[in-house]
Every structure is written in C-alpha cells, then in structure tokens.
Structure 1
Amino acid sequence: MTEPGNTRHLFELFIFTDPFCTWCWGSEPVLRKTRESYGDQVRFVFRMGGLVESVKDFNDTLNKINGKNFYQKMAEYWEMSSQRHKMPVDSRFFAEYKTDFRSSWPACLAVKAAQIQDEELAARYLRRLREAGLAECLPIHRRQTQVELAEETGLDGEQLKGDIDSGAAGHAFEADMQEYHTQGGEAFPFYVVRHMGGEEIPLNGYVSSMALEKLLEKMSGGKLERRQPELTDDNVVAFVEKYGKVAVREVGELYFIPIREAAERLDRLVEEGRLGKMKAGNGWFYLPPTAPAAPA
C-alpha cells in the first residue's frame, strides 16, 4: 500500500474522524465528490479521533449534551444535523442500544485494526460502519457486528479481532488521538491538508466541497486537474455501481444539482430497473440493481 509522503500524489488529506460522528457522516458527499474530481491526485488518510470515550462523562456544552441526557439529546442532535447535511440517519439507535452503547471507541479500534490489514479496505470499512450505525441502526459498537461488517468488506474478521485484542489497534488509535491534539484539532471532522511541497493547512469542522476545492486549487498553484462528470443516466448508474450504496445528497453534491432533482432522477432509474433502493432511517440508499435490499 502507498504510504503517506509518496510523491505520486499532489496532496494528502488527513481526515480525523469517528464512525459515530454525524457531521463526519454528513461530510461523506464532500469526500466522494473530491475523489471523483481529483482521483489519485489527492490521497485520503483516515485517522480516528475518539468522539465519545464514555457516555457517562460526555459533555458537549455547545449542544447541551451530557451524560445525564445523552441518549435522548444525541438522537435529537442526529435528526437536527440530518436536516442540515441531508444524509440519512436513524436516531432510533440511541433508544435501541441504550443498554450497552457506552463509547464510540470500540468502533474506532475496529477501524484501526482494519488499517493494519489494508488501508484501502479499511476506508471502505469505515464507510460501511457509518452506513450501518448512523443510517441502518446496526450495533457497530459490538464486536460481532464489527467482525461481520469487516468480512462483508473483504477483511479478515479473525485478524481484526486479534489486532484489537493484542493492543496493536489501541496503540495506533492512541497515536491518532495524540496527532489530533498536536495538529490543533477542536472538532470533528478535522482535516489537515498537506501539499506535497510541504505546506499544511488545518481545517476544523464541516467543510463544503466548494471550500475544499478552492483551497486545493489555491495550494496547488493551478497544477490540479479537475474532472467534472457529465450528468447522464449512465454516469449516475455507474457512480452507484462503483460505491455500492449512495445517498441522494451524494448524487446532488457530485453533479451540483438540487436534492429534489437528484431524488427524481434516482427514483426514475429505480422504476426503470436500473437501480435498487432501500430504506435508511429518515432517508434512502440507492443500490446497484443486483444488490440485496432491506425491506422498505
């Protein structure tokens, strides 16, 4: 696997995140658009930040979420955030798993264990954890679910467990959190945009695709080659087939069209049998037509 610092890339985008962070989930359309626009010119490097070490001790004064009201208020926060970032969420998670969800750290450890095996598969695994936890109400804090999703993604489930139990994933996670603080992280997501010429710029919190594109173009001195795919039915179907599960917002973001227009096109493609569709919390996922769909 390519390691950070490889000069084949013009940029490395370090993304400090957490599988349970709703605004990290809300940033997925931005990341997918960046991938589609710049390809291998921008290398993504995922770091785990550890959003919720302990529900009991959690204290978000800005959003008034703490250990006493965590499950109710976090569910409300997911719903409120979804109305803004437009990615689907299933806030029933916090009522469904109130008895045993105590921390987001186990999911972070699972991602670090996946990265020990394969960085590319680990990135797909992180995305799958987000889909499962935030939109499909699956218990991604539980080891069994983590292993099942790892194997679904193409990882070795037994090795994943072993790298967690041995402490290898924990050491890598600790290094990520230290780097987050050293780099000036104050929110999630947190980015460090590194130009291969040496310049680095940190970005705290949600960043729009337009703002990120402008920064990359400026830092590159015009050397980035940007691709904008044409909005056609064939291209939309190819986009869904490439990623497996796609939300309406991701199509709207990629083609710079309103959510309603994206939804209408996707639904028409479903009616024509070119795509599948499954319920995902307060929204939908669109799938390749051969993919298994959960009941609506």
Structure 2
Amino acid sequence: MVEYTDPLCPWSWGSEPVFRLLRAALAGRVRRRRVYCVLFDPGEDDPPPDPAAETAWYARYVAEVTGHTGAPRAERLSRVAASSWPSSLLAKAAESQGEEVADRVLRRLRETVSVLGEPADTPASAEAAVAGVPGLDLARLSADAASGAVLERVRADHAEARSPVPDVLSVAGGSPHPGAARETPDGGYRYALPTVLFRGPGGHRAVPGRRAFEEYAAALDAFGPGLLRRPRRLPAAEALRRHRTLSDPERRLLTEGRWPPPGAVRLETGNGPLWLHPEEAAVHPATRRLPSSAR
C-alpha cells in the first residue's frame, strides 16, 4: 500500500477517518509506505504577488474542502504554507523511530495547518509542533531530518509523486475530489492527494482522491478477497487513548459507546471540535495557547 500524501494537504487531512480505519483493517497483512509529494514546493511555485489575498483565497478553499469532509479547520489561517519540505523531511525522518511514532508525528504536522492555522513550513515550526509526541526522540529526529540521507529519500518521493501511473491521468467523477492527476508547471503530472496505490502479484490498483472505505476494499479484492477486514469499533476511551486526537468524523467511524469519554478535552475549531486525550492535551501545541482553566 503506497499512500501519496503531504502533511499540509487539506484533502489528506479530511481523508484521515477512512485512512485510520484502512490502516487498522490492513495491519499485519500489507507493507505500507508513505510518499511525500511536497505539495507546497518553492522550486515549482512562484511567490504570490499578494500574500494576503492568496491567504484569503486559500482559506475559502479549505472551508470548501472541510465542508465536504467534515474535518476540523482553523478558525483563522495565518498564511499559505511557504513550503512542504520541512514537514515532509520531519515526517520521513520519524519513520526510523517506528510506525506508531511516525503516525503521531505526521498527525501533529497535519494539525498545524488544519487546527492551528499555522502551517509547519520551517524546520523550527515543524519541530516545535511535534514536541511531546510519546516515544519520540526529538533530538534524533532533528538530526535525521537535516541529514543528506533523509533529504535524498524525500527527493525520491518528490520524483515518484510526479510519475503517476496512467490510470489516474483521467478519473471518473462521483466524488467531490475524484483525484485525477494534477498538471505540474513543467507540463508533467503528479498524483492528486491523497492517492493510494496497491501493488501485488496481480499488478496494481489505484484509488485516487476522496473515497469511501468500500472502494479501497473493492480495489484490494483484485489481490485476494478478504484481505481487508473491517476492524471492530473501539470503546471511546480506548480509541482516544490510541489515537491521541479524534475529530467528530473519526470518532463516529472508529468508536462505540458514550462520547466523550471521561477526561477528553474538547478543542473548538472553525468546523467542529477536535477531541484530545488528556495526556495529549498536556503537550499539544493547540492547548499551549489556552489558559490552564480552559484545558
């Protein structure tokens, strides 16, 4: 399973409920790999002539996306991300510390733009965003993210994302984000985000854009019916403990029982709440802004 994504992409953020379910459904039965597209690339994009107007336009775009996905969004977006390179390097470097840590690092980076409205588009802001992630060695992460080896891995991701399989060059509609490949400034194409590519003995199957869980299941049937097993919903407290933060779409899809569980911290956003486990709330960058009486 190859997941083409970017830490700062609003469609990838909005697809997290299904992706969290998909990862659980495939745990131990597939090899999973993330490819960071570098959505905001200073090498490809010219600086906006009017940053304030660009930010206002992008905020409206994000509001439209979250209108489809139901995902939280920042009440105020400070700016359009200058670059996805810092967050992509950090997310790639986190993989050497294990899948669980890497997932949590990526989640924090997504939340910088989608919850805080302050995209992690510099090394310093990206590192600050992931401070306190359980099990993370932040000093090691910082050193690895600045290394030539990780830079080459993200450069390889960048190139791979701009060599899409022919299947995604033209995609039928039926979704607010069907996921046809995007044209790049040099006349080439890159995967729309998110896109999942399943590879196996039977070839490959691409599932681009915003899709329902059942569409991933249908694609996997090409490699073996029953490979995808829909997991049980977790009790509310267990799910929040495992995932650390949950949006309303996520908790409706992934949990069962009375909501919210005891101790859950509700963080208001511009499009519904984000729920934090109390241990996460103690270290999360969003709650660092709140007075202690509001936590």
TM-score by length of 2: 0.76
Q: Is the 8 A contact 1:30 1:209 kept in 2?
A: yes
Q: Does the aligned pair in 2 maintain the 1:103–1:141 contact within 8 Å? A: yes
Gaps of 5+ in 1: 1-12, 60-65, 256-261
The alpha-carbon distance between structure 1 residues 246 and 188, as it changes in their structure 2 partners (threshold 3 A), is: same
Written as runs of structure 1 = structure 2, the 5 A alignment for 1:208-287 is 208-216=212-220, 218-224=221-227, 226-229=229-232, 235-254=235-254, 265-266=258-259, 269=260, 273=262, 275-287=264-276
1:1-296 equivalences in 2 (<5 Å): 13-54=1-42, 57=45, 68=50, 69-90=53-74, 92-93=76-77, 96-97=78-79, 101-153=81-133, 154-184=135-165, 185-195=190-200, 197-216=201-220, 218-224=221-227, 226-229=229-232, 235-254=235-254, 265-266=258-259, 269=260, 273=262, 275-289=264-278, 291-292=280-281, 294=287, 295=290
Deviation at 1:25, TM superposition (A): 0.3
State the Cα deviation string for residues 165-190 of structure 1 (Å, max 9, x = none).
33322211110121122333431112
User: By how many angstroms is 1:134 displaced?
Assistant: 1.1
The residue that corresponds to 1:4 in the other structure is none
- The share of aligned pairs that are identical, in percent, is 28
Residues 55, 70 of structure 1: 8 Å contact kept: no
**TM-aligned CA deviation for residue 56 of structure 1:** 8.9
1:173 is paired with a residue whose SS is helix
**d(CA) in 1 for partners of 2:100, 2:253:** 23
Distance 1:77 1:19 in 2: 17
| d(CA) in 2 for partners of 1:67, 1:47 | 30
Cα root mean square deviation, aligned: 2.9
Q: Which residue of 2 aligns with 1:10?
A: none
Between Structure 1 and Structure 2, which shows a larger proportion of helix residues? 1
> How much does 1:241 deviate?
1.5
CA distance in 2, matches of 1:58, 1:265: 49
Matched to 1:172, the amino acid is R
Note closer, same or farther for the CA distance 1:72–1:225 as it changes in structure 2 (3 Å cut). closer
Equivalent-residue separation in structure 1 for 2:226 and 2:213 (angstroms)? 18
Length, aligned pairs only: 258
Distance (Å, rounded) in 2 between the aligned partners of 1:86 and 1:240: 19
Structure 2 unaligned spans of 5+ = 166-189
Q: Distance in 2 between matches of 1:227 and 1:17?
A: 23
Per the alignment, do residues 202 and 91 of structure 1 end up closer, same or farther by CA in structure 2, a change over 3 Å counting? farther
User: How much has 1:40 moved relative to structure 2?
Assistant: 2.0
* Contact 1:76 1:91 (C-alpha < 8 Å) held by counterparts: no
The whole-number CA distance in structure 1 between the counterparts of 2:150 and 2:278 is: 36
Conserved in 2, the CA contact under 8 Å of 1:23 and 1:188?
yes
Cα offset, 1:20, TM superposition: 0.9
